[in-house]
C-alpha cells in the first residue's frame, strides 16, 4: 500500500556549468542559465509504501509525514536561492533530479526501515522527476 503527502515550496536557482562558456551554457540550459536566477513553484509528492498497521489502519500517520516534510524540506528550501543559500547545492547543480535526490536522502534518515520511500518532484506543471533511492 502506498500513501502520499503533497507539499509545495518556492525556490530560485540557476543551472550552469562554470567550465563552459556563456554561449554553451545557454545552449544546454536555456533560460535556466540566466545569470540572475529564476524561480520555480516546486510541488513535492512524498510516497511511502508499507503494510497497513492493524492497530491504526494507517500505513503511516500522514500528520507525522506532513510535519517531517515541512520541518526538514520546506523550512530548508522555501523562499531560498538554492545555489547561494543552501549548502547542499554549493557543489551540486540544483536540477530537479539533484533536488529530488537531496530530499530523498534527508527524508530517508527520518523514516523507519520498514517503509519504502519515493519522492516525485514537479518543477513545472509538465515536468517532474521521481527518485526511490536507486
Ligand atoms: Ni529552472
pTM of the model: 0.95
Tell me, in angstroms, the distance from the centre of ligand 1 to residue 39's CA: 7
Q: What is d(CA 23, CA 98) in angstroms, rounded to the nearest whole number?
A: 23
Q: What is d(CA 18, CA 94) in angstroms, rounded to the nearest whole number?
A: 14
Residue numbers annotated as active site: 32, 79, 123
pLDDT classification of 31: cutoffs 50, 70, 90? confident
pLDDT classification of 58: cutoffs 50, 70, 90? very high
Cell match 557543489: residue?
Answer: 91
Closest CA to 49 of 5, 102, 98, 94: 5
The 10s digit of each residue's pLDDT in 60-77 is: 999 999 999 999 999 999
Q: Which three cell numbers stand for residue 59?
A: 500505513
Q: Is 38 helix (H, G, I), strand (E, B) or coil?
A: strand
Q: Which domains does the chain have, with CATH numbers?
A: 2-131 (3.30.479.10)
Tell me, in angstroms, the distance from the centre of ligand 1 to residue 49's CA: 30
Closest CA to 85 of 34, 31, 13, 29: 13
Tell me, in angstroms, the distance from the centre of ligand 1 to residue 61's CA: 33
Residues ≥6 apart with Cβ < 8 Å to 69 = 5, 7, 44, 46, 107
Tell me, in angstroms, the distance from the centre of ligand 1 to residue 7's CA: 19
Tell me, in angstroms, the distance from the centre of ligand 1 to residue 57's CA: 40
Amino acid at each position: 500500500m502506498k500513501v502520499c503527502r503533497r507539499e509545495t515550496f518556492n525556490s530560485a536557482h540557476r543551472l550552469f556549468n562554470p567550465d563552459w562558456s556563456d554561449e554553451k551554457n545557454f545552449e544546454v540550459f536555456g533560460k535556466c542559465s540566466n545569470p540572475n536566477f529564476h524561480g520555480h513553484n516546486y510541488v513535492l509528492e512524498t510516497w511511502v509504501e508499507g503494510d497497513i498497521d492493524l492497530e491504526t489502519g494507517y500505513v503511516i500517520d500522514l500528520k507525522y509525514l506532513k510535519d517531517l516534510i515541512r520541518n526538514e524540506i520546506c523550512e530548508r528550501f522555501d523562499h531560498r536561492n538554492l545555489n547561494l543559500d543552501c549548502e547542499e547545492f554549493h557543489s551540486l547543480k540544483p536540477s530537479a533530479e539533484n533536488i529530488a535526490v537531496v530530499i530523498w536522502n534527508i527524508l530517508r534518515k527520518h523514516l523507519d526501515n520498514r517503509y519504502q520511500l519515493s519522492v516525485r518532484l514537479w518543477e513545472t506543471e509538465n515536468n517532474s522527476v521521481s527518485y526511490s533511492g536507486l
